[in-house]
Chain A
Amino acid sequence: MTRLVLAWLFLRPVQILAMGGVAVGLLALLVVMSVMNGLIDDDRNSVRGPLSDLLLIPAASEEPASWQAYRTALLADPAIVAVSPHLVAYAVLGLEGGASLLSRTTSSDVNGVQVVGIDVADEVRTTRFLDALEQARLSPVPDAADPFASDPAAAFPRPGILVSDNLARALRLRRGERVQLGALPPRLPAEGELQPHNGYFDVTGTYASSDYGLDMDRVYMRRTSADFSEGSLAWDLLGADAGEFTEVMIKLAPGVDLETGRAAALAALTAAGLPAPGSEGGGALETWEERRAVYLSAIENERRVTSLVMFFIVIVAAFGLFATLSALVREKVRELGILAALGWTPLRRGVLLLGVGATASAVGTALGVAGARWLVDHRVGAEAFLRDRLGIVIFPENLYVVNGLPAVWLPDQARELALLGFGVGVLFTLIPAVRAAALSPVEALRYE
């Protein structure tokens, strides 16, 4: 039977064409999915932005939360390798010419900003803060280890703040410019009028994370400092009532998944006698994926829809296989009659056709997977070829914020799609196989 399967498969050019159809369909599917994987990885990185693995908002308690207590408790667990405190306040940003800026509807919304006080060394260890500094294009800081250091040449330096490239571009800010921040005090006064706190700050540089929305809203400055000389959010804007921190970024050890890390952090807080977030005192302990759940589910949905649409290519290719196998049955009616006369059972005749279809499908699938893998591995060359020889630019730089053609080959995904493609191919050979099995030997022998 093997000999006949191979003969019927490879001696017919149209059958080879059908195999090619399956191969091209699967190749297209796998390449597109790999590019989608690459783009999604890029998207996930963008969506994650400056977030750490876990984000802890401590539960409220009667005593102000002590950063040292939290730090010690969390770092006691080996699943956690770094923590960084954030002191967050909301402020209005003002600058020279601000009145005219406020009158412009296109830029008036940029004046409300989130001011995040950080400890630089902890932040660098815990999040991608250093990357954000290094990716700045407009006014990169001279020293990433001390990004809030004022210009030594300035006559009366003020505490430093970092704004994003995007915000700086919108407000035409440069390194060394002075801005004013105004914020409400952390606690409402028991009596008397509510007096906002305000202060002057110098822009010491810019940063660039991959999250446009966050960039437009967020400015960084020192969280606190031991004395007034260095300047900080606590001392220079919020005042003495400010707590030590409002949020904790948590970095997990390599290989620790988010759920395990969350359980470890909770256990560490409980063991240290600190209030567990999420209980009566409020607070939360979230993974970065939960914080960005809406974006991530949109991305995942995009991937599912693309898979579904692309899989139609494989189904169309399988139709090609179906058509050629149906033609094969018609073409080989007499041979099937001869085989019946020689003693082949209907089942065996069906299996013969199924064998031809399954082999065609398997060869097509194998070629498709191999071709897709090769193309993904050599995508840079392929992209250059298309651009240089044919003038086709896949992702024009002026339209897409993508460096080259991203692609990620996921072996499990490739295996699943290959099996699915092969299965569809075999499924589409069932009808011709049943027809071959049901042929009347006499009619087949008489067939002209």
Chain B
Amino acid sequence: MSEATPMLAAAELHKSYRMGAGKLDVLRGIDIELRSGEVCALMGSSGSGKSTLLHLLGLLDRPDRGEVRVGGQPTSRLSAAARARLRADRIGFVFQQFHLLPELGALENVLMPRRIAHGFSWWGQRRAERERARAALESVGMQHRLGNRPAQLSGGEQQRVAIARALVGSPALLLADEPTGNLDSQTGDEVLALLLDLAREHGTAVLLATHDPLVAAHCDRILQLADGRFVAPADAPETPPVPQPAP
């Protein structure tokens, strides 16, 4: 991939859902580009299509029309298995609901993407992966809760584990869907700062869906989604004014 190639590019994305006899157009011609290290906020009211767009860009769903390129690679003709492998190799997710596996401890949850990406591995490699997962948890301040299951962790702690899981494989692209939506404001701020610091440290392109202008204010640029379209240019002087965080 050349320097000029965007990490994530999508052109003319359309997505609709059947609603009884009719259909609901959720996305109506979305174009987007995201470069390595860039942190972009995706704003919009509830039901504006933020999550749907993230799912399309994260290769969890297929658009009705349009093309998503990850690292320059077109994905519309890839099989479900190939898309899954691409996700494992290049994309990390952070969800509002944390989505940790409840039966596994924090360390095992963080290890999971490494195990998925590498499949079978020898003992030495497994040990290295374990060390790497441990370091990822340490970087989010969770080194003291390695064996704890999600049910034994607070919301903030669960999201820290989820961030460690998303970044442990050094993905080129991180998609975060309302990562602070289920956290109180102080914890949310801490988690967001951590997420962005680590992403910038890894040079990861980040697309962060939020409806909170305070969260969007931390990003390099803001995309406003309404009615299935971006309502302002991506690099937006026209983006809505961002309220300043309270002192």
Q: Which of B100-120 contact A (CB under 8 A)?
A: 100-104, 108, 112-113, 115-117
Question: From A440, which residue of chain B is reached at the shortest CB distance?
Answer: B61
A33 to chain B, nearest CB (A): 38
Q: Is B61 a contact partner of A343 (Cβ separation < 8 A)?
A: no
Report chain B residues within 8 Å CB of A340.
Answer: 60, 84
The docked-state distance in angstroms from the alpha carbon of A341 to that of B60 is: 7
B103 to chain A, nearest CB (A): 4
Cβ-based interface call for A3 (8 A)? yes
Q: Is B116 a contact partner of A342 (Cβ separation < 8 A)?
A: yes
A324-351: CB near B (< 8 Å → 1, else 0) gives 0000000000110111111111111000
Q: Is A341 a contact partner of B99 (Cβ separation < 8 A)?
A: yes
Cβ-based interface call for B95 (8 A)? yes
A340 to chain B, nearest CB (A): 7
Q: Is B95 a contact partner of A445 (Cβ separation < 8 A)?
A: yes
Count residues of chain B with CB under 8 A from any CB of chain A. Answer: 26
The docked-state distance in angstroms from the alpha carbon of A339 to that of B60 is: 11
- If A11-B103, A441-B60 touch, whether A343 touches B95 (CB-CB below 8 Å) is no
Cβ-based interface call for A7 (8 A)? yes
A433-446: CB near B (< 8 Å → 1, else 0) gives 00000001110010
- If A341-B60, A440-B61, A442-B55 touch, whether A346 touches B80 (CB-CB below 8 Å) is yes
B85 to chain A, nearest CB (A): 7
Cβ-based interface call for A4 (8 A)? yes
- If A341-B58, A342-B112 touch, whether A4 touches B85 (CB-CB below 8 Å) is no
Cβ-based interface call for A295 (8 A)? no
Report chain B residues within 8 Å CB of A200.
Answer: none
Q: Which of A1-40 contact B (CB under 8 A)?
A: 1, 3-4, 7-8, 11
If over half of B's interface residues share one DSSP class (helix, strand or loop), that class is named, otherwise mixed; here it is helix
Report chain B residues within 8 Å CB of A441.
Answer: 55, 60-61
The docked-state distance in angstroms from the alpha carbon of A144 to that of B80 is: 84
Q: Is B60 a contact partner of A345 (Cβ separation < 8 A)?
A: no
Q: Which of A1, A346, A445 has its CB near the most chain B CB atoms (within 10 A)?
A: A445
Cβ-based interface call for B138 (8 A)? no
- If A342-B116, A343-B88 touch, whether A334 touches B99 (CB-CB below 8 Å) is yes
Report chain A residues within 8 Å CB of B108.
Answer: 3
Report chain A residues within 8 Å CB of B60.
Answer: 340-341, 441-442, 445
Cβ-based interface call for B93 (8 A)? yes
Partner of A343, one of B84, B102, B103, B104: B84
Q: Is B101 a contact partner of A343 (Cβ separation < 8 A)?
A: no
Cβ-based interface call for B35 (8 A)? no
Report chain A residues within 8 Å CB of B12.
Answer: none
Cβ-based interface call for B1 (8 A)? no
A60 to chain B, nearest CB (A): 76
Cβ-based interface call for B31 (8 A)? no
Cβ-based interface call for B87 (8 A)? yes
Q: Is B61 a contact partner of A4 (Cβ separation < 8 A)?
A: no
Cβ-based interface call for B81 (8 A)? yes
Question: From A1, which residue of chain B is reached at the shortest CB distance?
Answer: B115
Q: A339-B112, A345-B84, A441-B61 are in contact. List 16 more A-B contacts (CB 8 A).
A: A3-B108, A4-B101, A4-B103, A8-B103, A338-B99, A341-B87, A341-B93, A342-B93, A342-B113, A343-B84, A343-B87, A343-B117, A345-B85, A441-B60, A442-B55, A442-B60
B residues sitting closer than 8 Å to A (CB atoms) are: 55, 58, 60-61, 80-81, 84-85, 87-89, 93, 95, 99-104, 108, 112-113, 115-117, 165
Chosen A-B contacts, 5 in total, with CB atoms closer than 8 Å, are A1-B115, A334-B99, A335-B102, A442-B61, A445-B99
A residues sitting closer than 8 Å to B (CB atoms) are: 1, 3-4, 7-8, 11, 334-335, 337-348, 440-442, 445
A-B pairs, top 7 by smallest CB distance, nearest first, are A343-B88, A7-B103, A345-B81, A345-B84, A441-B60, A343-B87, A343-B116
